[in-house]
Amino acid sequence: MLSIQSHVSLKPYNTFGIDVDARYWVEINHENDLQTLLSISEFLNTPKLILGGGSNVLLCHDFDGLVVKMNIQGIEVVREDDQHVYLTVGAGVTWHDLVVYCVSNGYAGMENLSLIPGTVGAAPMQNIGAYGVELEQVFESLTAIHTQTREKRTFSHADCQFGYRESVFKHELKGQYIITSVTFQLDKQPVFHTRYGAIQETLTEMGVSDEQLSIKAISDAVIRIRRSKLPDPAQIGNAGSFFKNPEIPAEQFDALKDTYPAMPGYPLDGNVVKIPAGWLIEQAGWKGYRAGDAGVHTKQALVLVNYGYASGNELIALARKIQASVQEKFGVTINPEVNII
């Protein structure tokens, strides 16, 4: 049975720990609950904010609408063939719990995405990724319900229009659908991705040889790297990487490389190079910066942090200063990965 509450603090439900008020609040544990909610005429035209783990949002003001916390659970093997296993997973399942499940069962493809905060339902919206792997590489389809018509629809890989931290749900269909489950295609025979970041170096430190390489070893290495660089939201408010890594023309990168020989870059298709935003921010002098309770993490400049009582607007003001500084120094635009509400 649905329990719609009024004036609920969202502080426990966002990893920045921003204390703002939700006019209405409801938790969804089953798809039928969502259908029921969307049939209530009182809330038909009410603005809605869909929350998973609250790990990729920055709340800047009270939300004068309905916050829908998606808690739909379940991991089910729906089919398999000689090469693949297909899992359908509830939108409320914690992402890392899913990765642990896959690794423990020998299902390959998600190991590089270990310890990313958030829930399964939010993952396709953002096309999450880390250490050379993007969600779209293991994505098969998803189901979602239209907020107005209550029509249930299956979205294929092509329907989602994935891009770098992008999908159709952040653009043309923004706010129109609520994701209830996602189906993933995992490999029975792993293809290891160890070249990105410090994975190979960490594996060596762990004493893992090429002959011992496994999806669990890669997962363990990624977990070790993330824990060494990224603050725990339970200890200090943050949303992980705040900015996307910018992609610039190779010619522009070559010119910058002449001036800044240490600048790292990762060539992509189409004569484009991806630059780590954290490197740009650190070189612009922001690493460890703090103004009141809003700051930049001391170990990873890509992470903005709330030391206690920073407001969303204070963090946004800091983010804009960083953007302007990087633009002035390098002529490169960095854009937020975090959704600003």
- Mapped onto helix, strand or coil, the DSSP state of residue 261 is coil
| Residue 251: active-site member | no
Q: Closest Cα partner for 10 from 63, 48, 56?
A: 63
What the block records as the tokens of 104 is 């423990």
Catalytic residue among 165, 167, 181, 224: 165
What the block records as the tokens of 111 is 């190991």
**306 neighbors 236 (Cβ within 8 angstroms):** yes
Which residues have a Cβ under 8 Å from the Cβ of 269 and sit 6 or more positions away?
none
CA distance 107 to 268: 27
The torsion of the CA quartet 205, 209, 212, 215, rounded to 10 degrees, works out to 50
Catalytic residue among 111, 219, 226, 337: 337
| Residue 337: active-site member | yes
CA distance 222 to 242: 19
CA distance 320 to 64: 25
- Mapped onto helix, strand or coil, the DSSP state of residue 21 is strand
- Amino acid letter, residue 81: D
- Amino acid letter, residue 185: Q
Q: 């490197």: which residue's tokens?
A: 279
Phi, then psi, of 282 in degrees rounded to 5 = -65, -45
What the block records as the tokens of 116 is 């990313």
State how beta strands 290-291 and 5-9 pair.
unpaired
| Residue 165: active-site member | yes
User: What is the 8-class DSSP label of residue 94?
Assistant: B
What angle separates helix 95-104 from helix 215-229, to the nearest 10 degrees? 150
* Length of the chain in terms of residues written: 341
Catalytic residue among 114, 167, 181, 241: 241
Provide the annotated active-site residues. 165, 241, 337
